[in-house]
Structure 1
Amino acid sequence: MALTQQISLPSGTTLNCPTGLFINNEFVPSVDSRETLECINPATEDVICSVVAASVKDIDVAVQAARDALKTTWGKNVTGFERSRLIHKLADLIERDAQALAELETLNNGKPLKVARDFDIADSVQCLRYYAGWADKITGQNIEVDRKKIAAFTTHDPIGVCGQIIPWNYPINMWAWKVGPALACGCTIVMKPSEVTPLTSLKLSELVKEAGFPPGVLNTVPSLGNVGGAAIAAHLDVDKVAFTGSTITGRKIMEAAARSNLKKVSLELGGKSPHIVFNSADLDQAASWAALGICYNTGQDCTAGSRLYVQSGAYDKFIEILLKKIEEHVIGDGFDEKSAGGPLVSKAQYERVWGYIEAGKAEGAQVLCGGVKREGKGYYADPTVFAGIKPEMKIVQEEIFGPVLCVGKFETEEEAINLANDTTYGLGAGLHSSDVNQCMRVSSSLEAGTVWINEYNLLYPNVPFGGKKRSGIGRELGSYALEEYTSVKSVILNFGERLDWPL
């Protein structure tokens, strides 16, 4: 197949989109496979194009390219100043091409164009620039042992070749989150984008080459998860795997990493995040944040506030406000300026979400809004709000990854905390209250990697992000992410201590 295809965008322009594997700064065919991945526009169900699907042998080639670059043109062979310059250049190029990248993202992922451009891409540029600033500041410690005879210090070396596996819900964002700290630390990368949304990762690979990164520093291998993802996790010459996705897949990756070479693993996994509204909260603001928490990205978000608990004194008024706000959230084609949310990303995700909605009805939950399928093309699901929930219900316990909100009522602060923590997940949580003491008490008691107070779901490149319990291990963003991509080496220098032998 051709390694580039002309893609027509709704703006009337065409985009030359690479469709081959990106290895050693070139787009190449598979060495032994003719398998392809079909890319679908979820708003119309039309085929956009097909891209080369990597085989296990292709993963081997990409890993070798990354290893060679680590030994020769990257890693310890390049100063932090040079890494910083190149990452800044990459951020500049992404900013230059923001409109085209956003249109490609909307075409393949479905999210509104303004969200892709003004939020996802803008945040990704900021993330890369943040880590560009870190590249020349990754230092160890001087450790006092014996000033007259012994010197000891540490260095933070690049951990090596990193396999990075990213999901389909934020293809550009997750790419930047992974690439930024890895490049800043001097690591090389084998990137596996989701088989559902590979197009922007391939287009970003072009910009990596244009920015001037040496061949092999970043390699992109679109593939099925049970091929590319499994091969990366088990590869003996991969030193670290970073994965964002489901808890089930995260477990498989960790098992494969343990069985192979005990490579370092960081996992950002699922969530069933609680969102608490106390009587003292600003109800209008709390309702806005709660609506954002479940509607943003059409609920396809690991930290979606899918379990909402409202104190009894505010419940009726709050629900009235919330439903009005959710009704104002227009779901439609991402290229329609009126759309605040787009379709679900794929047919499989559409069927999954509707399966949960039907399960909620069957279990006896009350539908306050939504819950009705649309006619026509596109994988659309309008926000659905369930009340009358019980803790044991499937829609309360399991991650849905769609715009489905479960609303419950509570009386006391202690009850709210118990309800919030009654989950095997621990990624995010939110609370709304005008009582500062209550905010601090409750946030301290919530079992989550991130707790938002009087806001929800906003992330910043300098603030760490990650989960507890089944929501993962390790941290992304902030200086904490650098720890995931470095290996600490202790160096002890003897310049005066003599050894008397035999002991």
Structure 2
Amino acid sequence: MKTVPSQLYIDGSWQDAASGQTLPVINPCTEEQLAQVTAAGAVDVDLAVCAAARAFKTWRHTSGSQRAVYLRAIAHGVEQQKDFLARLQSQNNGKPLTESHIDVGDVVATFAYYAQLAEQLDAQQNAPVAIPSDDFSASLRREPCGVVGLIVPWNFPMVTTAWKLAPALAAGCTVVLKPSEVTPLPELALAAIIAATGLPAGVLDVVTGTGQAVGAPLVAHPLLSKISFTGSNAVGSMVMKMAAADIKGVSLELGGKSAILVFDDADVELALSLVMGGIFFNAGQMCSATSRLLVAESMANALLARLKQACEELVVGDPFAAGTQMGPLVNRAQYERVLSYIERGIADGAQLVTGGGRAEGCQRGFFVAPTIFNQVPLDSAIWREEIFGPVLCVRSFASEQEAVALANDSEFGLVATVVTANAERAARVSAALEAGVVWVNAPQVIFPQTSWGGMKKSSIGRELGPWGMATFQEIKHVVNALV
């Protein structure tokens, strides 16, 4: 495998931290050390932000067409190294290689899409605005918001980065990126690809380290104009409080406790496929995991029996082994967290249908068996809180109204899936659900052209689509007196 950089990338060069400290990176499948990466601190964060601030003075004035050249070069570079990047993703994160290839394809598509949007900016700049006056004219400018900090999670390395970095660069912002300290290797490999495109020094700076050592001083830095964070609600709240101290812009992509609603006219095989994919893809480590199954009473027993069988047949193991369908959780802390939730579910009186412990045949690594609970109490922690693991909670419903009410009874509102053969019901339920994305009879397909984000405590702002770039732009209107 190619060598992955282990240092910080600041002002166009790779360098060690001022402290000289490093962090271990662990393979979640073997529990062995993969690498060591530089552990940055506040001094390094300051160097990175100052480099980005210097670069912004020039980068902000580049045309959209010029930025598009770099974005396409990044997409091409990722495409050229897709096999290497997919293997690195599976090594560091633990997801099956087939899933990692999907992730890399998403990265390519995202950079290519924002190259198109960047090109369109030139024609949109100084667009006339209709006003009810013959004495004045008005025009609209879209300008980059400044130096932005991007803090990304460990569940989709490179993907979440692409969703933030591509639109930020397209908008004309300069960036300081903090990868997760758990999965920094894919982001460092991506940074090396970006460096090879000739992107000007300081436009992208990558600082690895912990949330306390890097994330906190990054959010607090006075030269930062905006922070975009994806992660837990607890940390998101801290980010928002810190950003409020000097009125920084904030975008937050946080938790979910999403529902999949299966109605009595649904195709059982389709429902089975969508339920399994919605909770066991990436071992359930998705903010969009449809971890609450709401199924019509008339088909609940039949679907539950099929789900139990499918779970017990699901191949859990080495992400590089042929036929593996689910890998390990990302680290020991997550493994112990998920097992503790399973214990709480049992204590709360939920019926354990299958799973509930370490996956069979996996003697090492952070593997949890696909787990199903039935008739979960509505006040149970496993029904109301985000577990972030392969744990499905099931309840049945008697009517459409009850199904929608149960789905909406959550502090989160990220996504939902509706499974029904009735098009009118699908439209009606989709409109009633309090979620930012609703899939109807479809897997969790995500396109760069459509928005990503949710309602309630799931999000502030949107990613992807034109909305993803707008979050890194400021609007300026120029009003001229007509002489």
- Which residue does 2:256 correspond to in 1? 271
Q: How does 1:9-158 map to 2 (within 5 A)?
A: 14-31=1-18, 33-72=19-58, 74-76=59-61, 78-117=62-101, 119-138=102-121, 139-140=124-125, 141-145=127-131, 149-158=135-144
Residue from 445, 449, 465 that aligns with 1:462: 449
- Which residue does 1:401 correspond to in 2? 388
Q: How does 1:283-302 map to 2 (within 5 A)?
A: 283-302=268-287
Structure 1 portions without partners, runs of 5+: 1-13, 497-503
Matched residues in 1 for 2:264 and 2:346: separation? 29
- Which residue does 1:441 correspond to in 2? 428
Shift of 1:148: 5.2
> Is the CA contact 1:295–1:329 (under 8 Å) kept in the aligned structure 2?
no
Q: How does 1:165-204 map to 2 (within 5 A)?
A: 165-204=151-190
- Which residue does 2:353 correspond to in 1? 368
How well do the aligned residues superpose, as a CA RMSD in angstroms? 1.2
- SS of 1:16's partner is coil
- SS of 1:18's partner is coil
Shift of 1:16: 1.1
Q: Which moved more, 1:248-257 or 1:367-376?
A: 367-376
Q: Size of the alignment, in residue pairs?
A: 478
Percent identity (aligned): 41
Matched residues in 1 for 2:425 and 2:310: separation? 27
Matched residues in 1 for 2:270 and 2:307: separation? 10
> Is the CA contact 2:339–2:357 (under 8 Å) kept in the aligned structure 1?
no
Q: How does 1:350-429 map to 2 (within 5 A)?
A: 350-374=335-359, 376-429=363-416
Matched residues in 2 for 1:481 and 1:265: separation? 13
- SS of 1:303's partner is coil
TM-score after normalising by structure 1: 0.93
Q: Are residues 1:474 and 2:464 paired?
A: no
- Which residue does 2:333 correspond to in 1? 348
Shift of 1:324: 2.6
Shift of 1:86: 0.9
Shift of 1:144: 3.2
Matched residues in 1 for 2:154 and 2:134: separation? 57
- SS of 1:216's partner is coil
> Is the CA contact 1:247–1:472 (under 8 Å) kept in the aligned structure 2?
no
Shift of 1:146: 6.9
> Is the CA contact 2:164–2:468 (under 8 Å) kept in the aligned structure 1?
no
Match for 1:229: what amino acid? G
Matched residues in 2 for 1:151 and 1:264: separation? 30
Q: Are residues 1:227 and 2:210 paired?
A: no
- SS of 1:17's partner is coil
Q: Which moved more, 1:389-398 or 1:321-330?
A: 321-330
Matched residues in 1 for 2:426 and 2:481: separation? 53
Matched residues in 1 for 2:114 and 2:419: separation? 32
- SS of 1:83's partner is helix
- SS of 1:318's partner is helix
Matched residues in 1 for 2:108 and 2:357: separation? 38
Match for 1:443: what amino acid? S
Match for 2:136: what amino acid? I
Structure 2 portions without partners, runs of 5+: none
- SS of 2:329's partner is coil
Q: Which moved more, 1:100-109 or 1:87-96?
A: 100-109
Matched residues in 2 for 1:194 and 1:159: separation? 24
- SS of 1:390's partner is coil
TM-score after normalising by structure 2: 0.97
- Which residue does 1:212 correspond to in 2? 198
Deviation per CA, 1:54-76, whole angstroms, max 9, x where unpaired?
1011111100111111102x112
> Is the CA contact 1:108–1:197 (under 8 Å) kept in the aligned structure 2?
yes
> Is the CA contact 1:288–1:325 (under 8 Å) kept in the aligned structure 2?
no
